[in-house]
Amino acid sequence: MPTPDGRADAFAAFPDDGQRHPAVLLYPDAFGPRPVLERMARELAEHGYYVLVPNLLYRHGAAPVVDLPEHIRETARPAITAQLMPLIQAHTTERILRDADAYLEFLTTQPEVSAGPVAVIGYCIGGLLAMRTAAAHPGRVAAVAGFHPAFLVTDAPDSPHRLVSDLTAEVHLGLAEGDMSPEAIGELEQALDAAGVRYTCEIYPDTVHGFTMSDTDAFNPAALQRHWDRLLPLLGRTLTKS
């Protein structure tokens, strides 16, 4: 996909029926697009959506931008994260928003994508990007979901929880135990309430960060199913199918 800073590689999945379908922009976790994300995108596409999974770190090369084992053990996570963190830190808010503009523009040009609002969902760091995208495009984004999201409440002036007044989307946040402190959750919910945002925010039981990803030790099958049980009705309520 063309962007102001180059070309972003991505994965797309959509029904092979010759029809137009609502778009879902799916931001991956820090490990980026890989087979598990492709399977999740295909599963979502089976429900009637065009799903786009961009490589967030395309400025540093095609996905995967670092070597990943077939299964990411908890013992391997710190070393992989150490390689990725400087790249993630370089992915500034300005870059996030430029890329979001490009991804949404790309979706408008696809013949398989119907007119109307889109949904933006994200996993881990992708949850942060999803919230920023939804706040920056209130006229386009009707639903936003973040699963085991990261950095939603920080001390930064542009922390996502300070931007929720710009949201018109319905929001679902599925947290792992330990993702956010009770104080941070309270601050986020207070901001959402004050903004009049329709939302749900819940801690998925018996989970650790990364619980949706079946190629990691964090995977929790019951929590993944809860994620689908929350996500699919959210999309069904907010996106119009042709």
Active site residue ranges? 124, 179, 209
Q: Give me 65's structure tokens.
A: 């931008």
> What's the one-letter identity of residue 146?
G
Listing DSSP states for 75-144 in one string gives TTHHHHHHHHHHHHHTS-HHHHHHHHHHHHHHHHT-TTBPSS-EEEEEETHHHHHHHHHHHH-TTTEEEE
What is the rounded radius of gyration, in angstroms, for the C-alpha atoms of the chain? 17
Rounded to an integer, what distance in angstroms lies between the CA atom of residue 69 and that of residue 155?
34
Residues 41 and 231: beta-carbon distance below 8 Å: no
Contacts of 187 (CB under 8 A, 6+ apart): 153, 161
> What's the one-letter identity of residue 71?
H
Can you say how many angstroms the Cα of residue 64 is from the centroid of all Cα atoms in its chain?
Answer: 17
User: How many residues are present in the chain?
Assistant: 242
**Number of other residues whose CB lies within 10 A of the CB of residue 123:** 28
Which residue bears the tokens 């931007």? Answer: 163
Residues 129 and 155: beta-carbon distance below 8 Å: no
Which residue bears the tokens 């908890």? Answer: 74
